[in-house]
Structure 1
Amino acid sequence: MTDLFPRFATAIRTADLAAIDRHTLIPAAFLLEQDGPYAVNYIPFEAVNRTARVVVVGLTPGFIQWRNGVAEAQRQLLAGATQEDALLAAKRFGAFSGPLRPNLVALLDAIGLQEWLDVPSCAVLFDTRPDLLHSTSLLRHPVSRHGVNYSGTPAPVSQPFLRRQIGQYFAHEAAALGHAIFVPLGPAVAEGLRWLADQGALSQEQIFDGLPHPSGANAERIAYFLGRKERGTLSSRTDPVRLDLAREELIRKVELLRSQG
């Protein structure tokens, strides 16, 4: 869990985070790799919750998540925490915080995941039952492209450099969580998980894809998926048939989990 942390501990301790407000100002001491327009910076997110039953997978930590994660690790180290405690705190601090979280909770509850977990709501995953959740990213360390957050275009599995990042970091997490289900946030992440399944890093049955991305920018699709908006009021940008099929399939898969105990 601490394989990279010792290499970057000094950079974390000494980073002047108040002076770093964008990707291009991240100190060179954090740079993991660079390839053409892509740069990968270290983030202290190695911690893996091996008791998790649900793994929520984003694309890659953005700049804000990088700064928050480093700030928490820095605070922990300066307070005398161990490497392990600093990593755990940094990971939990950045776990899908902000407006993304209530949308994600509502979507997970809508497919009945809380019933399989035997909890009142998936909100407890971020509160009293963090033992049930592992939050991570297909590209574990923040990737920027041309100096800004990488958005998933071009698709990560189409880029040899990004495929190597997936295999080098995320694949090891997936192997340690063979008992969990994986919920990808967005089609680029779902495609990456399916590619990993083809490589044998996890099974296709573990992948619960089809949820609308919980970003606020996706409000209409989320509202329709949750039954808060009627089909006749949708804009042309939202495909209700695809969302209906995805919802039905996810509910079916959760019911199958429940029947298996």
Structure 2
Amino acid sequence: MIVNRRYLEKFTEKLHTLPSSLTKSDLLISPFRLHQENELDIYYSPHNEYINRTATIVIAGITPGFSQMKTAYETAVDSLLQGRTLEQMAVDTKIAAGFSGSMRHNLITMLDLCGLPQAFGIQSAAQLFGDLRHMLHTTSVIKYPVFIQQKNYTGYKPAITHSPILSTYAFGHFPAELNHVTGPALLIPLGKAAETVCETLIRQHSLQNLICLSGFPHPSGANGHRLKQFSKNKEQLERQIRSFAAFVDFTIEKRK
């Protein structure tokens, strides 16, 4: 198990000051702020501190939204009240908050429709968030929640490459995290902004043991073009997933 304790210990002390039901006024405050750059704020959230090194599927968003942040903090408080260790708490928050809510439902639906279960020999992508969680690593290009004037950052305005702090996370911390995954693993970036970062890292040879799936829409309900994008790219996604599954079978056979 790999758990980044750099911030866990520091921010765990602040969890005891939180109420049981959380709002933006409880979390988007200076004690939880990591960075500030012009109108951009990055706040701490504990759910992207655990790395599943043995994952065969890696799903990467652009940055956690407030809904995921809220779930992560509420889970962290509950986990510690139950006497769990920091490492166990990191896993608990990852499981609870990673692409939680309606976004997870939309994500599972699209993964099922583009043939991922058949390629990986499972019944449904829902199992990746349940009994087959050991196959999955969830993360974000910018691992901590980013807000512009307290609104979720979407990957644009500013573009990641136009922000020094966002670039540091996307092109420094993010590949360093993914290179802990032993692979081979299928990397699924959600939406164009995350995909652009992943493609850049691959061109720079900054990612090891990962094959990137291109054309997967962001599953957020706020993405009104999600269904149209998925319909357009569905066959392409199916081919890429089948190709990866065949490659994994080949590499396993080759190692025997």
TM class by shorter-chain length? 0.7 to 0.9
The residue type paired with residue 216 of structure 2 is L
Residues in 2 aligned to 1:181 and 1:89: alpha-carbon distance in whole angstroms: 23
The answer as to whether partners of 2:108 and 2:126 remain within 8 angstroms in 1 is yes
**Cα 1:23–1:142 shift into 2, 3 Å:** farther
Question: Structure 2 unaligned runs (5+)?
Answer: 250-256
For normalisation by structure 2, the TM-score amounts to 0.85
1:4 aligns with 2:7: yes
Residues in 1 aligned to 2:127 and 2:103: alpha-carbon distance in whole angstroms: 15
1:199 aligns with 2:204: yes
Question: Structure 1 unaligned runs (5+)?
Answer: 227-242
The aligned residue for residue 163 of structure 2 is 159
Q: What's the % identity of the aligned pairs?
A: 31
Provide the secondary structure at the position in 2 that maps to 1:206: strand
**What is the correspondence of 1:23-102 to structure 2 with a 5 Å cutoff?**
26-44=28-46, 45-102=48-105
The answer as to whether partners of 2:211 and 2:244 remain within 8 angstroms in 1 is no
How far does the alpha carbon of each residue in 1:188-207 deviate from its partner, in whole angstroms, 9 at most, with x for none?
11011112223332169611
Alpha-carbon offset, residue 248 of structure 1:
3.0
**What is the correspondence of 1:1-261 to structure 2 with a 5 Å cutoff?**
1=3, 2-16=5-19, 18=21, 20-22=22-24, 26-44=28-46, 45-154=48-157, 155-179=159-183, 180-202=185-207, 206-218=211-223, 221-222=226-227, 225=230, 243=232, 246-260=233-247, 261=249
Residues in 2 aligned to 1:224 and 1:88: alpha-carbon distance in whole angstroms: 32
Provide the secondary structure at the position in 1 that maps to 2:51: coil
The residue type paired with residue 174 of structure 1 is L
How far does the alpha carbon of each residue in 1:122-162 deviate from its partner, in whole angstroms, 9 at most, with x for none?
11111211111111111100111123211211222332221
Segment of structure 1 superposing worse, 85-94 or 121-130? 121-130
For normalisation by structure 1, the TM-score amounts to 0.84
Residues in 2 aligned to 1:135 and 1:23: alpha-carbon distance in whole angstroms: 27
Provide the secondary structure at the position in 2 that maps to 1:52: coil
**Cα 1:133–1:205 shift into 2, 3 Å:** closer
